[in-house]
Structure 1
Amino acid sequence: MALKRGRGVAAVNYPTGMNLGGDPTQALVHSTPTGNFMVSLSSVDLGQGMKQVMTQICAETIGVPTDRVVIDTADTDTGPHCMGTFASRGTHRAGNAVVQAAMEARQVMLEVAAEELETDAADLDTDGQGNIHVKGAPQRSVSIFDTALAAHFKHGRSISGRGMFLVPRSYPDTETGAMKPSTCYAHACTVAEVEVDDETGEVTVLSIKNVFEIGRALNPKMVEQQLVGGSWMGISHALYETTEPYYPSREHGGRDFNQYVMPGPGDLAETEIVVLERPAADGPYGAKGPGEMCANPQIPAIANAIFNAVGVRIDTLPITPERVLRALRQNAGAAH
């Protein structure tokens, strides 16, 4: 009996969004009288940081600090339409809609500022700190605060914009069934190192090395956190989590989340994350969707590493000690 080590590799690509009827998302942007900007969405933040990213996208497009932007995800009765937060589509679809809405609002803002500065809107730019100035003459400026006040109380204009991102529906080819379900794809590769106890069937993940190509990382620290968390989830899916009976019958299944098996801090492997940025041509500032993909490649990489260590293929999740032992015994029996 021995502890045997193995290494496994797996690579995946993952679509951003699902083209089921066009996959549309809408956004609305408007300013308050004091120059803050409200973004209305029906795209829900599930904890992945979508509100923060939408804040950055809106602020970058309008040319204001991020603390001047508020995201209101409202609900499906009061917010603009969204297909939903699924299919790793939030940043890409909602982000594009926010860019459109923010560009329209920015144009109105510049037109009002142009009247205040007695110039043409095309000659104006923002400094990202809350001011609008004449290009090449920063001393000729007006604050966005004063511009918003003037729009509301002097010029009777609404600094607002509407945005919608819609991928035209792709219909399957009648002969082949071929279609285009997505406009861009993210990519990942994982190398897993494991240790397998061939007496007990226990698998220990020693290290996980992940490389992700996600378009452009709009918030690098949040991307890193999501990818590290996703890597942990991938290990959990591969070796622990299941809603099915543990072994060998339903009476042995967990009855609640206190008995639902997941790895704890002591089970986490040494983790390395490398992010490759290849901006998507149709993404908001080049972003794709790293969402679900971050927990995918670890699973086949671990399965391949187990095969490399002890020579058995496990094709049912989770890869429990019982399943490893059964496969080892089956292999030994076949050898005799």
Structure 2
Amino acid sequence: MSEHSEHDKGGVYSTKGKAFERDSNYITTRIVVDPEPGTNDFPVEPGRYRLIAAYACPWANRSIIVRDLLGLGDVISMGNPGPTHDADSWTFDLDPGGVDPVLGIPRLKDAYLKRFPDYSRGITVPAIVDETTGEVVTNDFAQITEDLFFQWKQYHRADAPDLWPTDRRDEMEEVMRRVYTEVNNGVYRCGFAGSQEAYDAAYDRLFTALDWLEERLGGSRFLMGDAITEADIRLFTTLVRFDPVYHGHFKCNRNKLTEMVNLWGYARDLYQLPGFGDNVRFDQIKDHYYKVHLDLNPLGIVPKGPDLSGWTTPSGRG
């Protein structure tokens, strides 16, 4: 892949001597209860949409977890591209014949081009596709999970968690902003730094944020208190990839996740909850990063380690 190729959520790889920058220009169409006249938004309609989300991708993994936690599996179908892709598109190589069984396409790019024939940006996951037309609706990963909560509420299961608590929302938004810029994106800033100076700065920013989270989680079970929220989901998908990928592959190696007492206990606590660990595919995660990032790992060799059996050990946080 070239140094400007797209990965996961359309991150633009840094050029030599420069810091990593993420392309954050997404398809802004939304799926809402009452689309405003004159907008391109789509209506909430059970059975109409298909979430395309690769288990390998942390940004897509969020949407898989949220869909599961809210009980939306019966109203929004899901397709899962394989863990590796070329510079052109995510592909459905895990499905029989390499074709998505509902959309009938071999490449996610086909759904993008069906709506936007001249689409030239990265083909990213998660994406939601309209099954009635085969056209992509949106790939805005942050907006997707927020809308799954607020716009699809009438279809949530009775015991669905309150992922966006009203009384904590302002603080939660601040926490999520810092988690995104410093941790979710911070590991990529380390991995794709274009110079020693850029890497050193990224490394310091990342571990400053992890130390802040370690301290915060010393006083509460989850980021916002005693119940899981969207903030926890957003942090979890980075933490679960930390030791298998980011510690070595992205040079985030001051210490492992397993060496941070509160963060490690917190991550295991989440992993062992329904909807979290059962939506983690460590084999696909490792295949994706080590086989796709040939600029960082030219031979495509996938490490056998680390030992991941600790994820099922008691967290001590319940």
Which one scores higher on RCO, CA 8 angstroms, separation ≥ 6? 1
Short-chain TM bin: under 0.3
Point out the structure with the larger helix share: 2
Point out the structure with the larger strand share: 1
Task: Please say which structure displays the higher CA radius of gyration.
Answer: 1
